[in-house]
Every structure is written in C-alpha cells, then in structure tokens.
Amino acid sequence: MKALSSLRPLPALAVGSLLVGATLGARGAEPELENYIEFGGGGAWVDGDAAAFQQRHGLNRKGFVGITDFFYTRSVTNGTLTAAGHAIYENNDYDFTLRYDHHTKGYFLVGLKAFRVWSDESGGFVPASLPLGGLSHYGLGGNFHALDRTEFFAEGLFKPTETFDFHFRVSHARRDGSKASTMEGVTSHTRPAARYIVPSAWDINEERTVVDLDATLRNETSTLTTAVRFDHSENDNTRYIRQNPNEAQERFVTTREQTDTDLFHVRGVATNRLNDRVFLSAAYAYTTIDTTLGGSRIYGRQFDAVYDPTFVRTGNNHGYFDLTGGTDTKQHVTTVNLLYEVDENWVVVPSFRYEDEGRAGAVEFEETNQTAGFVPELFEDVGDRDWREWTTALETRYSRIAGWVFTGRAEWAEGHGDLTEQQILHEGTPHVEVSRSSEYTRWVSKYSAAANWYPATWTNLAFSFNKKTRETDYDNSADSTNNNVGSGDRYPAFIKRQKFSTDDFTVRLTLRPMRGVTAVTRFDYQDTTVRSSEVGLASVNSAEIKSTILSQSLTWSPASRLFLQGAVNIVKDEIDTPADELTGTAAKIVQRSQNDYWSANLTAGIVVDEDTDLTLSYDHCFIDNWVDNSAVTVPYLMSAKEHLFQATLTRRLNRNLTVSLKYAFASNDEVSSGHINDYDAHLLYTKLQYRF
C-alpha cells in the first residue's frame, strides 16, 4: 500500500517554512539569524490497535518530547565549526553531527544516528462466519514490538595539496529489539484443515562495522583513485513461532540464525581526458566475502528449549541443531568507459564490463525428526558456484533538433556458470541423499529510449520506453531424483529454461499555463512475462505481471498569501499465474495477486498575517483486493481505507521566537485483518523555536 503523509512532527511542513521565509524576507534589513534550537513534544490518543498506529506512523503512542531540531555554526581558527541534530525521547529518535571545515585542508565530523521502528504482531485472519466456524483472529499478546537502529560514525577529508586528497569513514551500526515475522504458526481451531494465522516474532541482535579509505591523485587531465573497504558483521537472530496453541499437540518453535561475515573490497579507478572530445575511464574491483554460519531449529514445550528426543512432534516437524559451516566468495570486476563528444549536441558512450565470481560453501548439522525417540542424524551440505559474465553497452544523447533532447541506451550481457550441490548423510555408511550438477547460460538485453520535447516555455512532454529480456538455459548433467512427470519429487534440477521479458512505457506532461499554476500528468505501464520450461513438460507462461499507474498533480498559488497543492494516484497491479486458474480440489488455493489502490492528497498553505501561517493537509488511500477464500487456504490480499488530516498553526512572537501547534487525525479501517488493525488516533504536538 502506498504510504500516506507521515505524522512525524519534524521537520516543519515545507509549505509553511516557505511561507515563513517569504514573509521574513519581505521585512528586509535585519541580519539573518543562522543558529536555532527547537523544543517540542506531543502525544497521541489512540482508539483501537495502538500497535498498528505506531507501525504505520512511526510515533510512540504514549507521547514524545525533546529537542526536535537544532543548528549552531561559528567561525573558528582557519575554519568553521557546525553542530546539528535532534533528540526526541520516547521515539528513540536521535541525530547529532559535529563538523569542522578547514578553509583549505578538508573537513572532519563525528556523529550519532538512532531511530526506532515499531511493528504489530497481528497474525492472519480467517472469518468466523463460514459454516466451518472458528476463530476470526489468533492474537497471543505482546504485539508491541520495537526495533532500534543505531549508528556511530566518523568521517574526514584531508587535502594536503591541490592535487591529492585522502578520505575516510568509520561507522559502527547496530539493530537491536524485536519485530513481527511474516512466517506464521499453524492452528486447527479455525476449521478442520489447519490454517497458518498464529502471529510470530523475531528477536534481533545485529552489529556491523565498516571502514572506508580512499585516496585521489589528480592533475589537469587525469585522476587516479584507490579505495579499500573492511566490513565486519555479526548477526544473532531468533524467530519464535507457536504451533497449535492451546491444543493437544502444542509446540514452541525456536529458530536461531547466526552469521558472521567479513568483507574485504579494494578498487582502483582511473580517468583521463585524452582531448577536448574524448574522455576515458577504467576501473577494477576485487571483493572477498567470508561467512560463518550457525544456528538451530528446536521444537519444544517452551521457547528456547534444548532438543528433547522424547518430545512428540507432529507433521513435518523436521528441526536441526549444531549447525556449523560457512561460505567463501571471491569476485573480480573490470569496467571500461569511453565518452566521445561528436559535437556540442551529440555524445556517445560505449562501455564494457567483465565479472568473475566464485563461491564455495559447506555446512554440517544434526537433523531431528518428528518421531519420539528419533536419533538425530548428521548431514553435510556442500555447494560450489562459478560465474563469468561479459556486458557491453552503448549510450547516447542527441539534442541537435531545436526543442528536443533524445537519449538512448542499449546493453547486452552473456554469462556462463556452473553449480554443484550435494547433501550427504553421514550416519552409518555415508551416502548422498540429494545431488545436482548444472551448467547454465544467461543472456540479458536491455534497450531504453527517451525523448523530451519543449514546444514552449510553459510546457514539456517527456516519453520513455524500456525493454528488458533475460533468458537462462540450464543443462543438468547430474540429478539425484527422478525427473519423470509422474515423479513425486523432482527437486532439485527440474528447470530447463526460464525467460523474463519486461516492457515499460512512461509519458509525462508538464504544463504551466499561467503564473502560479503547475500541472504534471504522468502515465506508467509495465508488463512482465515469465515463461518456463521444465523437464518433460511443455513451455508455459508461468506468470504475467502488469502494473498501470496514472498520477496527476496540481500546484496553484492564486494569491501571494495562499498556496494549494493536490495529487491523485491510481494504481492497478496484478500477478497472474496458471495456478490461480486451477479447478477441482486445487481451485482457489492460489489467488491472483492484486495490489490495486488509489490515493489522493490536498495541501493548503495560508499566510493569515505577517506573523501567522496556517497549513492544512488531507490524505486518503483506498485499497480493495481482499477475497475470502479461507475455506481452502489463508486469505493474503488486503482491503483497507486510510484517512489522515493535519493542521499546523505557526506564530512568530518576535524575531527570535516562533511557536507552532499541530493537530492530526489518523484513521485506519482494515477489512482484511478482520478489523483487528483498525484505529482512530488524535495527535497534538507543539514546538517552540528560538533563533540566535
């Protein structure tokens, strides 16, 4: 669904700021006050699903307060010192940067950024009114999830001479907290056939450290840049899924995913202007990625349980523990670009790219079965992948015809790869359970053309067309399974060919028929066809994806004290596959995926007097795609209505002090969640700005 305007209180609405600036500018004479600090706070009163409100608008329902914005700058010895940022308590929204700019030698800065993302653990929905009966929703409580993202960083640029500079950036980022998962647990309470609607959640613990170093040497016609990146990350995430809650076969599933990754990247870029019309650039990059894997999936009587061979599991409850292993990736990339200016109205850019990538990986784990008393079995999975790809492209820009600018690009790529995979059971006499060996070739072609027409100073018409085709052939020389059509298991090597074809067309009309009026009309159409050929089967269209977007915006300033802006977007988006046309027992199991919606917004900025501005805005989004097929499976599409009204009053008390008051009303009516995610929310927010 298209996001509505945010309820975030900062920064102040752009329209209001422009009106403020215009009014202050009219007063003339007094010197500009560069520095300022803003204090603000507010709260929301939510009737309904407060967690859904927090997730949608990124605000703490309990209220927030703090320094919403500040900026301070002053001249110091040989340079300028600047501090900027904000700190909003309860939203966990912090941003601080301290920067020193030397007049000639570069700059240095340090900073902190932190923000919080909320999510709602609402699970799926199955109507209770059908003949089979059952629960409409299976909430388990604890649905207020918050995930904090924090980054500390330092950056600098040192220029000892006019021909040499050195740049670095060091950052340490962290994600910590919990969030809802899209993988849901099963329950049989809804109807005799189980439905996966039980909400689940992630516990996130991730850290990443990145060091970037680069140096550039230049003269009048050439530059040489070398760069190095060190990237280390550690992830320890756990997903909690409750299966068949409050039933005889209730299980708690704890899946732990651990990855440690070390990336080393080095590159060199050289550019040279050969003459007034020819410019040459070339680059080479080498990257290594070493990843260590660990984890487990345990079915138990509670979360975070250890494996118990006596615990009875049901269905296909295969778990594992003591997973160890990793992958090793090495990549080489070379590019060459030549820019040729035929004349001042015609530019041609041919280019070439070569990529060579190799990846090897292996993991071991103890697999567990659903049968009580089952003895874990030691499995080993190994795989190798090699890939080589050549890409050539030609780009041009032509503007010799008065009022017209034409651009075009053509790109062709051909790649060859090898893939081997094996799963080996080591219990008793080691033997191969699953294996494959495949060679594959991929052809990619991309064509794009665009034209901009300027028939008059008040109008502009732009066209663009893009076509992309990707075709992959698989030669499966070894396969451990029977690929006959009647086989019950054709995995892993059953695809022989896949072809993706995409056509994309865009037209945009911009009109300025009179002073203060701007209208922009845009139409986008995209059609993607996926055709697949599998062993023993005829080639079929396995998917068709169509997207149509029509948008219209209008900006009007009928008077110096009034500003109006509105927009409407209509989107039709669907994925059609043969599976949604099946009949008999398979009917309606797979739905035609649709994401059709329309949205509209209107904003008005009013200068009430020389010291007072009023900004009003309204946003609406309507989506209606949900179809109740819960008799055969879980409904996945969405139907909802959203409304958002905002009013901001800004009053300048004097040259230094400005106060603003904001009220907002947000509403969500969601049929596809059984109205469990509905809410009506009122927001009140105030802010005081002091300039100095």
Whether cis (ω within 30° of 0) applies to the bond prior to 11 is: yes
Write down the pLDDT at residue 248: 83
- For 637, the token pair is 């599409």
Residue of 264, 253, 250 whose CA lies nearest to 194 = 250
Question: Could you tell me if 493 and 487 are in contact, meaning their C-beta atoms sit under 8 angstroms apart?
Answer: no
Write down the pLDDT at residue 136: 56
Q: Give, for 241, the enclosing helix (H) or strand (E).
A: strand 222-243
| Secondary structure of 382-396 as H, E, C letters | EEEEEEEEEEEEEEE
pLDDT higher than threshold 70 for residue 139:
no
How confident is the model over 207-218, as a mean pLDDT? 98
* Burial bucket for residue 689 (CB in 10 Å: 0-12, 13-18, 19+): buried
How far apart CA 115 and CA 389 sit, in angstroms, is: 40
DSSP sequence for 574-614: EEE-GGGG--GGGTTSSPPEE--EEEEEEEEEEEEETTEEE
Write down the pLDDT at residue 137: 61
pLDDT higher than threshold 90 for residue 142:
no
How far apart CA 592 and CA 530 sit, in angstroms, is: 15
How far apart CA 526 and CA 595 sit, in angstroms, is: 14
Write down the pLDDT at residue 561: 93
Length of the chain: 692
How confident is the model over 92-120, as a mean pLDDT? 96
DSSP sequence for 349-386: EEEEEEEEEEEEEEEEEEEE-SSTTPPPEEEEEEEEEE
Evaluated on CA atoms 23, 26, 30, 33, the torsion sign reads positive
pLDDT higher than threshold 90 for residue 19:
no
How far apart CA 474 and CA 468 sit, in angstroms, is: 20
How far apart CA 110 and CA 153 sit, in angstroms, is: 6
* Residue 287 C-alpha from the chain's centroid: 24
Return mean pLDDT, the chain: 90
Q: Is 481 helix (H, G, I), strand (E, B) or coil?
A: coil
How confident is the model over 131-139, as a mean pLDDT? 52
Write down the pLDDT at residue 192: 59
pLDDT higher than threshold 50 for residue 22:
no
How far apart CA 330 and CA 323 sit, in angstroms, is: 24
pLDDT higher than threshold 80 for residue 371:
no
Write down the pLDDT at residue 2: 38
Instruction: Give residue-wise pLDDT tens across range 557-604.
Output: 999 899 999 999 999 999 999 988 888 888 888 888 999 999 999 999
Instruction: Give residue-wise pLDDT tens across range 224-270.
Output: 999 999 999 999 999 999 998 888 888 999 999 999 999 999 999 99
Residue of 2, 85, 180, 164 whose CA lies nearest to 623 = 2
Q: Give, for 76, the enclosing helix (H) or strand (E).
A: strand 64-76
Instruction: Give residue-wise pLDDT tens across range 76-96.
Output: 989 999 999 999 999 999 999
Question: Could you tell me if 301 and 341 are in contact, meaning their C-beta atoms sit under 8 angstroms apart?
Answer: no
The domain segmentation of the chain, as residue ranges, is 1-33+591-668, 34-120
Question: Could you tell me if 199 and 233 are in contact, meaning their C-beta atoms sit under 8 angstroms apart?
Answer: no
Instruction: Give residue-wise pLDDT tens across range 269-320.
Output: 999 999 999 999 999 999 999 999 999 999 999 999 998 888 877 767 889 9
**pTM of this structure:** 0.89
Write down the pLDDT at residue 16: 41
CA atoms within 13 A on the CB side of 270: 6
Percentage, residues of the chain above pLDDT 90: 74
Give the end-to-end CA distance of the chain in Å, rounded to a whole number: 43
Question: Could you tell me if 609 and 637 are in contact, meaning their C-beta atoms sit under 8 angstroms apart?
Answer: no
List b or e across 354-391, with b for residues whose CB sees 16 or more CB atoms inside 10 angstroms. ebebbbebbbbbbbbbbeeeeebbebbbbbebebebeb
How far apart CA 471 and CA 539 sit, in angstroms, is: 13
Question: Could you tell me if 627 and 609 are in contact, meaning their C-beta atoms sit under 8 angstroms apart?
Answer: no
